[in-house]
A = this chain, B = another copy of it.
């Protein structure tokens, strides 16, 4: 039940004309957390196949409260599900310690050379498994 935690600095330009962080931009913030874990974290573990060999099949995002420009937000991230040919990432975004958004991404391992979905390798599964959390 451990979670990957990422501090994400906001930018003034994340705000839209309403003066809050734009709802589309949340996906970019979640992307930063995912990149930190799947690219940088996995590379440290000797795995580079999650970086280039995974495509996004689906995102779901719930917006609970507006986020204003200011201090960095904290993104907690974990794995909701790991299957042979897909895995599901869960996230929560905290602003000033309060959850402001939740999201879920369905990720599909992909063989870029062959141009089709592939199965997770054993090494990938081993890297992801410690972050698996039974969903509430």
Tell me, rounded to whole Å, the shortest Cβ–Cβ distance linking A85 to chain B. 16
Residue A58, interface by CB 8 Å: yes
Tell me, rounded to whole Å, the shortest Cβ–Cβ distance linking A131 to chain B. 19
Contact with B along A24-66 (1 / 0, CB 8 A): 1101100110010001000000000000100111111111001
In the complex this chain forms, how many copies of it are found? 4
Residue A113, interface by CB 8 Å: no
User: Which of B9, B12, B63, B69 is within 8 Å of A9, CB to CB?
Assistant: B9
Contact residues in B for A61 (Cβ distance below 8 Å):
58-60
Residue A5, interface by CB 8 Å: no
Contact residues in B for A60 (Cβ distance below 8 Å):
58-61
26 A-B pairs in the complex with CB atoms less than 8 angstroms apart: A9-B9, A11-B31, A12-B16, A12-B32, A12-B39, A13-B16, A13-B24, A13-B28, A15-B17, A16-B17, A17-B69, A18-B52, A23-B27, A23-B56, A23-B59, A24-B27, A27-B27, A55-B63, A55-B66, A56-B63, A57-B62, A57-B63, A58-B60, A58-B63, A60-B60, A60-B61
